[in-house]
Chain A
Amino acid sequence: MNKSVISVLGQDRPGIIAAVTATLFKLDCNIENINQTILQSEFSGIFIASIPSDLTNGELCSQLTGALAHLNLNVYVKSLEHKEEGFESGSCEPFIITTIGPDRKGLVAGITEIIAKHGVNVTNLKAIFKGGDNPTDNIMIYEVDIPNDIDQQILRAELMKRASELGLDISIQHRNIFMSINRI
């Protein structure tokens, strides 16, 4: 069995997951992982499934596109690459980087430029820019893995400097503080 990654994107409405999974079932695919999210009104779902050896990604994609036509969704299918070809993180500590401050262009690019430069991997990101004065309406939350072998002081200093240039209030905290406070 080969494994494929299926990405589905389009306007959110009831029945998307049902339609995708029914088609996969019909084609004898076995789902291994699903994750979905909704940004404003847009649905995005990513599925990993093992597919029969006689089913190509192209065929799977066209079957799905046909089945989902009435929902007006975009479908993309690719093979799952072997892990050693992807990014392999070394020994890391999980941190949360949070910024609060007024919206403007280039905030995510500005912060992630520094994060990427230091080889820090973003494992989860949420950014909300609604404008207005409420701090929680203009916030970026990066969950990151900071490698143990980099100089954290320099990373911190550069992030602080960049945040201040962008007019953001930044916090860089080990994940455990949030876990300790909020989880039993």
Chain B
Amino acid sequence: MLSEKEIISTLEMLKNEHLDVRTVTLGINLFDCVSHDLNTLKKNIHNKIINVAGNLVNVCDKIGEKYGIPVVNKRIAVSPAAVFGAPFSASQFVEIAKTLDLAATEANVDFIGGFTALVEKGISKGDRALIEAIPEALAETDRVCSSINVASSRAGINMDAVLIMGKTIKKAAQLTADKDGLACAKLCVFANIPQDIPFMAGAYLGIGEAEAVINVGVSGPGVVKKAIDRAIASDPGIDLGRIAELIKRTSYKVTRVGELIGREVADHLKIRFGVVDLSLAPTPNVGDSVGEIFQSLGLLSIGVPGSTAALALLNNAVKTGGAFASSHVGGLSGAFLPVSEDLNISESVRAGYLSLEKLEALTSVCSVGLDMVAIPGNTSEDTIAAIIADEMAIGVINKKTTAARLIPVPGKKAGESAYFGGLLGKATIMPVNNAEGSNRFIRFGGIIPAPIQNLTN
């Protein structure tokens, strides 16, 4: 028999604290679609995606209704396109992207990830063609997401790839200048990319994964914030150790929801269940914000001194609680700080509390890096590449995932607003300080060697 308290607190999380399943992402292996003929490849890709994912949205909606928990987004992640499309040229890769887009539209999912290349140690012919195709592919499709892994703790940082990505981001922004550089919102540059991320833009189906797999991304910043607020209200003398314990317990609950829904969707589709990604993922709604948690923890705003320590506490507590709740945890599993997608973080930038430099510092204790950061349109490709390189270095040295999703908003300056719409939100453009002059460092190229794996200080 359930207690009243158990039922009421669960309802409260669902109705007033925005607890939901942020995404159920179906990974599909496309390697058996390969062909030397582009049309055959496209046909195979389309058929396979529709065949495997045709029922995904229906099943997610039905199970969401059964438990009274909405599955907000249904998504698809495929094998890295640079591998299964290796024989093709850049213009042919644009065709492949359009095929993925069409299949995603027909399967009624909001995004499809996997327009991906893994180039941390070197760039193959297929990788190069895919990267060259990215600006046009993302500008001419709505749902395709792209991710490029340019660094890892075992391989180091491929600075040639970093520079190419600086150029690619710049070009992608220009091709979508009328939409504030929207294409860049669908492009993520990674260090140590996990093979099982359910969240976009980084989702792809890793090479070591099964034929098809269901990964789940839970949400819950609102639940964590309300739990902290309630605890402080009932006991103003509470200390940080107990607050961490409380976040841990809350994270446990959130994770259990993800695992329950994910396993049932997987059972229905007769597909293997993969992982729950424990990330606290915000949306541009009041009460669904990671930034607000900083204020509940007593800081004026995210970005002020103390923010990095607060984030470290939050992130570690979320992981600890989640790891107890599920034995299958993966993906990014950390707090997200996507600037435009979180109303509170976006406002902190506008008010001047959060700078690019502080955001970079914050990313050293959480996933997932400089996410949805709008920067001035005239930021040079070298500077973009240099910002990426800095972010990659944090990931590589600390043996964690970091990423950069930077949007140089064409024709706009620091302090102006950029609008991306929907979940992608809106952002105040951050200034990039001290970026004048040439950047010789970024143009040396080559590989920054991998860090030593002992002497860890």
Chain A residues with a Cβ under 8 A of chain B: 96, 98, 100, 124, 126, 136, 139, 141, 143, 156, 171-182
Contacts and interface: CB of A to CB of B under 8 A. Distances in A.
A173 B66 contact: yes
Interface in B1-50: 1-2, 4, 6-11, 13-15
Contact of B10 (A126, A136, A172, A182): A182
Nearest to B68: A173
B67 interface: yes
B1 A143 contact: yes
Nearest to B256: A180
A174 B6 CA distance: 14
A178 B2 contact: yes
Contacts of A174: 66-67
B10 A178 contact: yes
Contacts of A96: 2, 7
B257 interface: yes
B69 A177 contact: yes
A98 B11 contact: yes
A29 B90 CA distance: 87
Given A98-B11, A172-B68, A177 B257 contact: yes
B11 A171 contact: yes
Contacts of B2: 96, 143, 175, 178-179, 182
A96 B253 CA distance: 18
B286 interface: no
B120 interface: no
Contacts of A100: 11
Contacts of A178: 2, 6-7, 10
29 contacts: A96-B2, A98-B7, A100-B11, A126-B4, A136-B8, A139-B4, A139-B8, A141-B7, A156-B65, A171-B14, A171-B15, A171-B68, A173-B67, A173-B68, A173-B69, A176-B67, A177-B10, A177-B69, A177-B257, A177-B260, A178-B7, A178-B10, A180-B259, A180-B260, A181-B10, A181-B13, A181-B257, A182-B6, A182-B10
The A contact surface, by secondary structure, is: strand
Nearest to B253: A181
Interface of B: 1-2, 4, 6-11, 13-15, 65-69, 253, 256-257, 259-260
A177 B69 CA distance: 9
B253 A182 contact: yes
Contacts of A139: 4, 8
Nearest to B1: A124
Contacts of A173: 66-69
Nearest to A128: B4
A39 B13 CA distance: 28
Given A98-B11, A143-B1, A177 B68 contact: yes
Interface centre among A171, A177, A181 (most CB of B within 10 A): A181
A124 to B, nearest CB: 6
A32 B68 CA distance: 38
A139 B253 CA distance: 23
A156 B65 CA distance: 10
B266 to A, nearest CB: 15
Nearest to A182: B6
A46 to B, nearest CB: 15
Nearest to A95: B66
Nearest to B324: A184
A98 B15 CA distance: 12
A102 B260 CA distance: 33
Nearest to B13: A181
B258 to A, nearest CB: 10
A179 B8 CA distance: 13
